[in-house]
Amino acid sequence: MKKRILLIILIAVFMLCLTGCIPGDGKSTAGNPAGFFWGIWHGWLAPVSLIIGIFKKNISIYEANNIGWWYDFGYYMAVISGFGGLSLYRHGRDRKSDKQ
């Protein structure tokens, strides 16, 4: 149980340290739009961006200054793999506990 709590705390600290690149922070401009890999990053940070966006109005979960379809594709891939992957992990654990 202690390992699980330590892992959760470690992941939370890691995510907070890396949120310096969340959408709407002003790093992406019309001259330097966010691309595919920024889309992946912003998709992974979408839940964190949503919470921060409640308190800071300039932060959003999606970067408006992006290159278009490729950014959208990366964003969508990250959101689906992040949330879908958790769902598959939980279903796998449920099946293991049923067998025991």
How many residues does this entry show for the chain? 100
Q: With CA atoms as reference, report the closest residue to 44 among 89, 91, 77.
A: 77
pLDDT at 61: 84
Longest CA–CA separation in the chain, Å:
58
Distance CA 22, CA 33 (A): 14
For the whole model, what pTM was predicted? 0.65
Summarised one tens digit per residue, pLDDT across range 33-52 is 989 998 988 888 888 888 88
Q: What's the N-to-C CA distance of the chain in angstroms?
A: 20
Give residue-wise pLDDT tens across range 70-97.
Answer: 999 999 988 888 765 655 565 655 555 5
User: How far out from the chain centre does Cα 7 lie?
Assistant: 18
